[in-house]
Amino acid sequence: MIRTIQLFSALLAIAAGAGVALDHDQPRVRAAFFAMTVPSMDATIAWYQDKLGLELRRRDAPGGGEIEQAHLVTAWLEVELFMPKNAPQGARPPADFGVEKIGVFVDEPTYTAILTRLRKTEAKFIGREMTEPDGSRFFMVEDNNSLQVQVFMVP
């Protein structure tokens, strides 16, 4: 969790330091998300629904069904859950559980500033920048600890 907080703070610093004029010298973060591998999809969905009031947006097993995934949302947070489809509930060792990636949803000037800075510093990009049919854009980078960081710009 501390690594996640440090990385989120670093993203804010990158945007603020890139010369983008934003309120209070801080980027406008619309929402945040994190993704993690879990030992029990049912129990984890129930916990986030009961404890934080998240709503289940989608639950499926894309790409051949190897991994089951679920997306839970509120206005301020999105949680993405992963579990091997063929594994019995709770069967994997605890070392395999935890945060897979973190992400932020930002406005267009902040998105551009973060992307520009990361390109200049030759960050390790995962794939390429993508644009969705609704005009939203996103990219992913990998930090020095192999944690994935995804940045979204939503129009």
Output 147 or 25, whichever has higher pLDDT.
Answer: 147
71 bridge partner residues? 58, 80
Q: What is the pLDDT of residue 130?
A: 93
Q: Which of 35, 60, 55 is nearest to 140 (CA)?
A: 35
Contacts of 65 (CB under 8 A, 6+ apart): 85
Long-range CB contacts for residues 68-72, cutoff 8 Å, separation at least 24 = 68/41, 70/41, 70/44, 70/45, 72/45, 72/48
Q: What pLDDT sits at residue 6?
A: 44
Confirm if 12 and 152 have CB atoms less than 8 A apart: no
Band the pLDDT of 118: cuts 50, 70, 90: confident
* Cα dist from 45 to 34, 96, 146, whole Å: 14, 18, 26
Could you read off the pLDDT of 11-70 as tens digits, one per residue? Answer: 554 444 444 444 445 556 666 778 888 888 898 999 888 887 889 999 998 777 888 999
Q: What is the pLDDT of residues 54-110, one digit of tens each?
A: 899 999 987 778 889 999 988 767 889 988 766 655 554 445 667 778 888 888 888
How high does pLDDT run on average in the chain?
A: 75
